[in-house]
């Protein structure tokens, strides 16, 4: 069985130490910002991955949960002076409640209804945030007054943000890891692979879809709180944006949906690419989306399961030359 | 054990079942026959709770189940082996079998059921670490039946056991069915393979265009001209 000292776990351990040591070496603010954004996107896409990658419920409006998290903690901070650390709890409750509200009717229906519901809801919420000016300051957005301190989760340097983001990502990886290894994870995958089969085996599919939704929306809210405190400005167009939702999804899809580290691979590839494109071709607005499209087409054509699963399969093939009589194991769905 | 009373079921505007009555007695093997689109799968999906009746009743051991959710019905001991096997092909045999044992009644008897299943299908024990999708059609069907048995059913419904399988494999599977039946599990068998089903069944129901065309003892049904009409028309 998998030992604690397998090559993989040693590699991950070294990576973890490197991650903690990184701020000592990286002093350039521009690069530090990119690294923080990579971690932030990996975490956010990781939250999406639990719902869509594991349980197979394709959400194309994940910015709803992210944005609600950002708005909830920010409004509490700006209007009532509540510390964002406490705001996290309110943000979690808010996002999970809305997640349940979307999931409750949509999970009962089969087919693309859930995806459509997330798309529709994200538009509705964007409109609410844009037009409920008394509460949200409308399309102008909210500027968070800069008051540095641990209690306000605002810092003059990038390092504290880096460690908060890293902690958040580690939490999400850990939760994903436990889901991956638990019974719940196999029920999620069963639902993703074949909902009808899961249902006749007696798995209460609506309930498990709801579990994945609650976990996923809660974690997305967490990243939303972080984002608001890091950027110190939120507006409906930025946080409830459908393009943003599809970016969240794309990172996991490209990295490898339904794998623990897929979202990280996707974020490591796409976020720097996006930043470089944006600064290199700043006059050509929209080129970054063009490049996104090309990367997506390349990955989907040559690595339909995402980058990470393709690499692991290659490694396994090399390592295990003498496999039992498998017929193209895991590649083509021959059972159905 | 199971009693269906005047089941009517619609898919949108189309009526798929018309006043269908069925009765299955404990310990029996019952064949549910009929041509394509006669309503066989619809019937067992209604029993499983996947499709809801517009009127009629389904009684299992005296309890009405037509309004229950699929997982509640599985909990009562009714398990379906779906048409086309529907295995989780990226998972191993073992993982598939584990997923079959979701219900409380199944988890309580997990070890015992696993032993039984491996006794009935030794090949699955041998290949339990292999991905389900990499096995032959016959082995996949065995795995599907085994996964159903892991649910610790009192009443097992099998949809199209012989679909797409070689005659020799079908023969083996039918033999296993009689063994399963001997262990006290009641079986409802939905089949296109009329001859073989009637050979092992105690009684049979024949559906035609969503209506019950014929029912009775297996031997009587086998010789009834209505059976041929149900498949070939008049």
Q: Which pLDDT belongs to residue A331?
A: 37
Q: Which pLDDT belongs to residue A1?
A: 45
Q: Are B201 and B34 in contact (CB under 8 A)?
A: no
DSSP per-residue string spanning B56-107: EEEEETTEE-TTS-HHHHHHHTEEEE-TT----TTSBHHHHHHHHT-SHHHH
| Distance (Å, whole) CA A333 – CA A65 | 33
The predicted model scores a pTM of 0.87
Q: How far is A178 from chain B (nearest CA, A)?
A: 17
Q: Are A118 and A60 in contact (CB under 8 A)?
A: yes
Assign A278 a pLDDT band (cuts: 50, 70, 90): confident
Query: Mutating which of B41, B71, B156 best tests the A interface, going by the most A Cβ atoms within 10 A?
Result: B71
**Helix/strand/coil (H/E/C) assignment for every residue in chain A:** CCCCCCHHHHHHHHHHHHHHHHHHHCCCHHHHHHHHHHHHHHHHHHHHHHHHHHCCCCCCCCHHHHHHHHHHHHHHHHHHCCCHHHHHHHHHHHHHHHHHHHHHHHCCCCCCHHHHHHHHHHHHHHHHHHHCHHHHCHHHCEECCCCCECCCCECCCCHHHHHHHHHHHHHHHHHHHHHHHCHHHHHHHHHHHCHHHHHHCCCCHHHHHHHHHHHHHHHHHHHHHHHHHHHCEECHHHHCCHHHHHHHHHHHHHHCCCCCCHHHHHHHHHHHHHHHHHHHCCCCCCHHHHHHHHHHHHHHHHCCCCHHHHHHHHHHHHHCCCCCCCCCCCCCCCCC
On the question of pLDDT at B64 being above 90, the answer is yes
User: In what helix (H) or strand (E) does residue B231 lie, and over which residues does it extend?
Assistant: helix B225-232
pLDDT above 90 coverage of chain B, percent:
82
Q: Which pLDDT belongs to residue A293?
A: 81
Q: How far is A209 from chain B (nearest CA, A)?
A: 14
pLDDT tens digits, B95-140? 999 999 998 889 999 999 999 999 999 999 999 999 998 999 999 9
- Nearest beta carbon to residue B82 from set A197, A325, A330: A197
Q: Which pLDDT belongs to residue B95?
A: 93
pLDDT tens digits, A82-120? 999 999 999 999 999 999 999 999 998 877 899 999 999
Asked, for residue A7, whether it belongs to a domain, the answer is no
Q: Cβ A199–B86 below 8 Å, yes or no?
A: no
* Arithmetic mean of pLDDT, A114-143: 92
Asked, for residue A245, whether it belongs to a domain, the answer is yes
Q: Cβ A202–B48 below 8 Å, yes or no?
A: no
CATH of the domain at A190: 1.10.3470
Q: Are B163 and B194 in contact (CB under 8 A)?
A: no
Asked, for residue A172, whether it belongs to a domain, the answer is yes
| Distance (Å, whole) CA A229 – CA A101 | 27
pLDDT tens digits, A216-244? 999 999 999 999 999 999 999 999 999 89
Q: Cβ A199–B79 below 8 Å, yes or no?
A: no
Asked, for residue A149, whether it belongs to a domain, the answer is yes
Q: Which pLDDT belongs to residue A334?
A: 35
Assign A324 a pLDDT band (cuts: 50, 70, 90): very low
Assign B77 a pLDDT band (cuts: 50, 70, 90): very high
Asked, for residue A336, whether it belongs to a domain, the answer is no
Is A312 in the B-facing interface, judged by CB distances under 8 Å?
A: no
Is A330 in the B-facing interface, judged by CB distances under 8 Å?
A: yes
* Arithmetic mean of pLDDT, A322-329: 36
Asked, for residue A251, whether it belongs to a domain, the answer is yes
Q: Cβ A200–B87 below 8 Å, yes or no?
A: no
| Runs of H (alpha helix) within B136-191 | 137-150, 167-182
> Average pLDDT of chain B?
92
Is A319 in the B-facing interface, judged by CB distances under 8 Å?
A: no
On the question of pLDDT at A336 being above 60, the answer is no
Q: Distance of CA A4 to CAs A10, A13, A171, B34, Å?
A: 8, 11, 20, 56
Residue A91 belongs to domain spanning: 26-320
Q: How far is B53 from chain A (nearest CA, A)?
A: 17
Q: What is the CA radius of gyration of chain B?
A: 17
pLDDT tens digits, A194-206? 898 999 999 999 9
Q: In the A/B pair of chains, how many CB contacts fall below 8 A?
A: 93
On the question of pLDDT at A333 being above 60, the answer is no
Q: Cβ A200–B80 below 8 Å, yes or no?
A: yes
Q: Which pLDDT belongs to residue A106?
A: 92
With vertex at residue A21, the alpha carbon angle to CA A17 and CA A25, rounded to the nearest 5 degrees, is: 145
Q: Which pLDDT belongs to residue A279?
A: 77
With vertex at residue B73, the alpha carbon angle to CA B71 and CA B77, rounded to the nearest 5 degrees, is: 110
Q: What is the value of ipTM here, to two decimals?
A: 0.86
* Arithmetic mean of pLDDT, A136-155: 91
Q: Which pLDDT belongs to residue A310?
A: 87
Strand order in B155-159's β-sheet?
B63-64, B55-60, B2-11, B14-24, B211-217, B203-208, B29-34, B186-191, B155-159, B78-81
Q: How far is A173 from chain B (nearest CA, A)?
A: 22
Give me the number of domains chain A comprises: 1
Q: Cβ B79–A201 below 8 Å, yes or no?
A: yes
Handedness of CA A10, A13, A18, A19 (dihedral sign): positive
Q: Cβ B79–A327 below 8 Å, yes or no?
A: no
pLDDT tens digits, B183-225? 999 999 998 888 889 999 999 999 999 999 999 999 899 888 8
Assign B192 to helix, strand or coil: coil
């Amino acid at each position: 069985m998998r030992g604690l000292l397998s090559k993989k776990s040693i590699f991950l351990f070294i990576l973890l130490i490197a991650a903690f040591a990184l701020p000592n070496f990286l002093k350039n603010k521009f690069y530090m910002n990119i690294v923080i954004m990579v971690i932030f996107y990996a975490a956010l896409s990781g939250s999406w991955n639990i719902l869509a990658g594991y349980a197979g419920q394709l959400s194309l409006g994940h910015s709803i949960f992210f944005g609600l998290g950002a708005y909830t903690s920010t409004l509490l901070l700006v209007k009532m002076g509540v510390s964002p650390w406490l705001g996290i709890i309110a943000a979690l409750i808010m996002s999970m409640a809305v997640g349940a509200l979307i999931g409750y009717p949509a999970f009962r229906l089969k087919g693309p209804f859930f995806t459509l519901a997330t798309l529709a809801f994200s538009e509705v919420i964007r409109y609410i945030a844009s037009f409920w000016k008394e509460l949200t300051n409308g399309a102008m957005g909210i500027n968070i007054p800069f008051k540095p301190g641990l209690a306000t989760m605002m810092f003059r340097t990038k390092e504290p943000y880096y460690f908060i983001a890293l902690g958040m990502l580690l939490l999400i990886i850990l939760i994903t890891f436990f889901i991956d290894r638990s019974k719940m994870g196999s029920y999620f995958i069963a639902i993703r692979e074949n909902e009808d089969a899961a249902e006749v085996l007696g798995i209460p599919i609506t309930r498990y879809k709801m579990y994945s939704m609650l976990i996923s929306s809660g974690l997305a809210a967490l990243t939303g709180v972080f984002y608001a405190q890091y950027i110190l400005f939120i507006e409906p167009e930025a946080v409830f944006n459908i393009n943003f939702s599809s970016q969240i999804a794309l990172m996991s899809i490209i990295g490898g949906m339904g794998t623990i580290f897929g979202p990280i691979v996707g974020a490591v590839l796409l976020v720097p690419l996006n930043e470089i494109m944006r600064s290199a071709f700043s006059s050509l607005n929209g080129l970054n989306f063009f490049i996104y499209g090309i990367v997506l087409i390349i990955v989907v054509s040559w690595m339909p399961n995402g980058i990470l699963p393709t690499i692991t399969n290659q490694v396994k093939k090399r390592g295990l030359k003498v496999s039992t009589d498998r017929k193209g194991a895991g590649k083509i769905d021959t059972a159905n | 054990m199971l009693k269906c009373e005047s089941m009517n079921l619609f898919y949108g505007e189309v009526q798929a079942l018309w006043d269908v009555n069925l009765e299955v007695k404990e310990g029996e093997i019952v064949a549910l026959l009929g041509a394509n689109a006669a309503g066989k799968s619809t019937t067992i999906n209604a029993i499983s709770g996947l499709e809801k009746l517009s009127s009629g009743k389904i009684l299992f051991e005296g309890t009405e189940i037509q309004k229950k959710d699929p997982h509640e019905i599985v909990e009562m001991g009714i398990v379906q082996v779906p048409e086309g096997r529907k295995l989780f092909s990226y998972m191993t045999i073992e993982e598939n079998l584990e997923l079959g044992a979701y219900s409380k009644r199944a988890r309580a008897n997990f070890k015992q059921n696993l032993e039984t299943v491996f006794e009935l299908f030794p090949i699955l024990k041998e290949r339990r670490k292999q991905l389900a999708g990499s096995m032959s059609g016959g082995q996949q069907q065995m795995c599907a039946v085994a996964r159903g048995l892991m649910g610790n059913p009192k009443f097992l419904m099998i949809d199209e056991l012989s679909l797409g399988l070689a005659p020799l494999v079908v023969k083996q599977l039918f033999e296993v069915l009689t063994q399963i039946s001997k262990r006290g599990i009641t079986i409802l068998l939905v089949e296109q393979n009329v001859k073989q089903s009637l050979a092992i069944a105690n009684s049979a129901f024949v559906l035609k265009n969503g209506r019950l065309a014929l029912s009775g003892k297996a031997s009587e049904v086998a010789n009834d001209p209505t059976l041929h009409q149900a498949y070939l028309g008049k």
